[in-house]
């Protein structure tokens, strides 16, 4: 016998229908079927005056059960049938909201006549984050309740809003601090005889100008904006079509998106992100860091300190130079103030976060903390020296973490007496903003510690992905191949601005040369010098970036890198001097320049990522293909609507990708040796995600 996912009670002639399907009361087929039966029972019983729909365990509903996406629709009633029954049934229905009311959950609430909510509730229509649009009236009832312009922001932006804001807009009718169900029942009783208020009967406030303006702001449909444009089509339907016709139009648009590659890719990332937290042999951890020390007060150290403070951790920022400590204190305060002035942080929350930050000039400050994060220069000798000193001072049970982006975790851990307590926590810059935390396990890192690091990522609101230990781990190991091909293309005749444009058109927010100018050419130069000393490159090596660094052109911070920059302006300006340097370097290397097509640039840059991603997977550095994609979507801004490098390759066709790589090998040599894993899957018709 199947377990019921809902409950039905009657109090004071009002039926209370409770969704009880943990963890988020998702509206799966079984829940919807039970809701439909309960609504029919309310409508058929003359002793019942109306209904309240609420959720158990402090949550109304997180929306549709997306595990069903991509599968044939099960038989039985749909959410739209439940809404239609409420619409046409002639009895009052009130939604009692608490916790979250997202997606289909909020659409269900919109079909009720009124909405009562706990003050701490958040509501959202986030379907666009999955490449979809609200498919159960969220583009039709919402603009009738709150006006077209704000509905547009919710449907196209997808971000949650507070219950307070929803009340101001008219989406919520009453806010309470006490029991929501009791309040909703009382509200239903008091309004049962005063008339219903169906959203479908309200006029849409607003005009097509807001939709036209939103179309101008949206990415083109073919560059990731498909869901935004189809959502705007549905909202436009709310203006010009009768309600029932507009609902039919909305559903047709939803189905089009559900079959789109963009939506499938975004849903892939959604599930891959959740799967990344499951590591074979690693126990789930509920560990929460309460205190931490961050060693290093530079850009990364300051950003990591803010990320920890944002996650509720008391942090001590340590630097031996008092002047650097003072500068870090001022920079962090300035960053928080900027966020506050943009309205993204309240004064009270800003003060709380600043209150968690402390500063010190002695490593003795690590003695009592739960977590130590080293964020000093990316040089092995410096890091090993820091870890020797940490080892002498830190608690035996402290987590000892290094923020290295490329260096050998085992070599760093060897400087301590407890390598099982050492782990890599590779934050991405700016660390207080970027969502990825690449967690690097050493040979002796304990499984419990890996679980604690994954728990830390969750505590900080980040996506943790576990990587094996190799030069560059998952992300930077692949990045080196992407940048190599871009540099080779420069020498062969492309310009920085052509390559950057092609990569932007592919969907990245920045191309490789605008990006390296932003990050600083000196950072990757230091890594190259270390790598080349340890392991000279086996074949062709581009000297273009090294030559720029030798000229002191480190990017935006020096006013010149691959581009020129005007004072106070971050806009890249093409520089003829750089193009001359590239030509001269190519002549020295005996490379004859030629016209290079956009298609070749795209394939060589992206397929270099794919090929090395396959090697990362085959070598066991990444546990699963989805982990590679998550690292690149959240750490390197690979377009989520393409799903990550390996999901993209699967969509293009592994045979096609493999054939191009074989052709590149013939023309460009050893660097293009196809990954054996790619060759195997391409020739067998296999999949990374089987």
Residues catalogued as catalytic = 405, 426, 438, 476
Which residue is it, tokens 């090294």? 546
Q: Which DSSP state fits 360?
A: E
Assign 11 to helix, strand or coil.
strand
Beta bridge partners of 293: 316, 372
Which residue is it, tokens 């930050």? 357
First-last CA distance in the chain: 32
CA-CA distance, 401 to 440, in Å (whole number)?
A: 9
- Neighbouring residues of 651: CB distance < 8 A, sequence distance ≥ 6: 261, 265, 642, 643
CA-CA distance, 393 to 176, in Å (whole number)?
A: 50
Helix ranges (H only) for 259-314 are 261-275, 299-310
Listing DSSP states for 57-89 in one string gives TT--B--B-GGGTTSPPPSS--HHHHHHHHHHS
Which secondary structure element, helix H or strand E, spans residue 466, and what is its range? strand 463-467
CA-CA distance, 491 to 604, in Å (whole number)?
A: 14
CA-CA distance, 196 to 173, in Å (whole number)?
A: 13
CA-CA distance, 288 to 81, in Å (whole number)?
A: 44
Cβ-based neighbour number of residue 72 at 10 Å: 6
Cβ-based neighbour number of residue 509 at 10 Å: 10
Nearest alpha carbon to residue 382 among 412, 359, 406: 412
Beta bridge partners of 314: 291
The two three-digit tokens of residue 219, written as one number = 């990415």
CA separation, residue 380 to residues 404, 413, 478, 554, 572 (Å): 9, 11, 21, 22, 33
């Amino acid at each position: 016998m199947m377990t019921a996912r809902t409950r039905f009670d009657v109090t004071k002639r009002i039926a209370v229908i409770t969704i009880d399907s943990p963890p988020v009361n998702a509206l799966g087929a079984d829940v919807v079927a039970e809701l439909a039966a309960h609504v029919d029972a309310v409508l058929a019983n003359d002793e019942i005056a109306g209904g309240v729909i609420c959720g158990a365990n402090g949550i109304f509903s997180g929306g549709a059960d997306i595990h069903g996406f991509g599968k044939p629709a099960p038989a039985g009633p749909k959410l739209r049938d439940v809404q239609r029954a409420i619409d046409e049934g002639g009895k009052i229905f009130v939604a009692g909201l608490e916790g979250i009311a997202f997606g289909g959950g909020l659409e269900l609430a919109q079909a009720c006549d009124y909405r009562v909510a706990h003050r701490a509730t958040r509501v959202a229509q986030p379907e666009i984050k999955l490449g979809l649009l609200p498919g159960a009236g969220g583009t039709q009832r919402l603009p009738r309740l709150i006006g077209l312009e704000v509905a547009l922001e919710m449907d196209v932006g997808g971000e949650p809003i507070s219950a307070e804001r929803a009340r101001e807009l008219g989406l919520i009718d009453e806010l309470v601090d006490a029991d929501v169900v009791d309040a909703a029942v009382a509200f239903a009783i008091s309004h049962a005889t005063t008339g219903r208020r169906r959203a479908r009967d309200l006029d849409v406030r607003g005009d097509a100008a807001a939709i036209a303006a939103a179309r101008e702001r949206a990415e083109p449909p073919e560059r990731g904006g498909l869901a935004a444009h189809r959502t705007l089509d549905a909202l436009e339907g709310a203006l010009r079509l009768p309600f029932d016709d507009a609902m039919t139009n909305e559903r047709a648009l939803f189905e089009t998106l559900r079959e789109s590659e963009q939506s499938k890719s975004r849903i892939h990332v959604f599930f891959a992100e959740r799967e990344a937290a499951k590591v074979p042999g690693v126990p789930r951890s509920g560990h929460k860091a309460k205190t931490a020390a961050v060693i290093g007060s530079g850009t990364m150290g300051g950003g990591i300190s803010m990320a920890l403070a944002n996650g509720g951790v008391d942090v001590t920022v340590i630097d031996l130079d008092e002047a650097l400590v003072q500068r870090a204190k001022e920079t962090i305060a300035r960053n928080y103030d900027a966020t506050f002035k943009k309205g993204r942080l309240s004064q009270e929350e800003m003060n709380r976060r600043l209150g968690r930050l402390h500063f010190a000039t002695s490593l003795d400050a690590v003695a009592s903390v739960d977590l130590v994060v080293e964020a000093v220069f990316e040089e092995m000798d410096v890091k090993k020296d820091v870890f020797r000193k940490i080892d002498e001072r830190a608690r035996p049970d402290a987590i000892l973490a290094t923020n290295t982006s490329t260096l050998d975790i085992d070599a760093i851990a060897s400087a301590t007496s407890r390598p099982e307590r050492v782990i890599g926590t590779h934050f991405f810059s700016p660390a207080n903003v970027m969502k990825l935390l690449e967690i690097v396990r050493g040979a002796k890192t304990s499984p419990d510690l890996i679980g604690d690091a994954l728990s830390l990522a969750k505590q900080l609101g980040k996506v943790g992905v576990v990587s094996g230990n190799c030069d560059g781990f998952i992300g930077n190991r692949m990045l080196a191949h992407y940048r190599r091909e871009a540099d080779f293309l420069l020498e062969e005749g492309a310009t920085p601005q052509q390559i950057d444009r092609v990569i932007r058109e592919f969907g990245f927010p920045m191309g490789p040369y605008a990006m390296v100018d932003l990050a600083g050419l000196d950072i990757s130069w230091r890594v190259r010098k270390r790598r080349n000393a340890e392991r000279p490159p086996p074949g062709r090596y581009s000297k273009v970036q090294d030559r720029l660094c030798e000229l002191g052109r480190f990017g935006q911070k020096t006013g010149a890198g691959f581009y020129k920059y005007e004072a106070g302006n971050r806009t890249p300006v093409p520089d003829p001097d750089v193009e001359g340097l590239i030509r001269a370097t190519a002549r020295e290397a005996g490379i004859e320049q030629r016209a290079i097509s956009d298609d070749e640039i795209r394939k060589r840059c992206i397929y270099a990522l794919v090929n090395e991603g396959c090697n990362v997977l085959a070598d066991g550095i990444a546990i699963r293909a989805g982990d590679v994609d998550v690292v690149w979507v959240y750490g390197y801004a690979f377009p989520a609507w393409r799903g990550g490098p390996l999901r993209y390759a699967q969509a293009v066709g592994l045979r096609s990708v493999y054939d191009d790589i074989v052709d590149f090998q013939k023309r460009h040599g050893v660097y293009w040796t196809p990954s054996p894993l790619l060759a195997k899957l391409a020739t067998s018709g296999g999949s990374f995600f089987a």
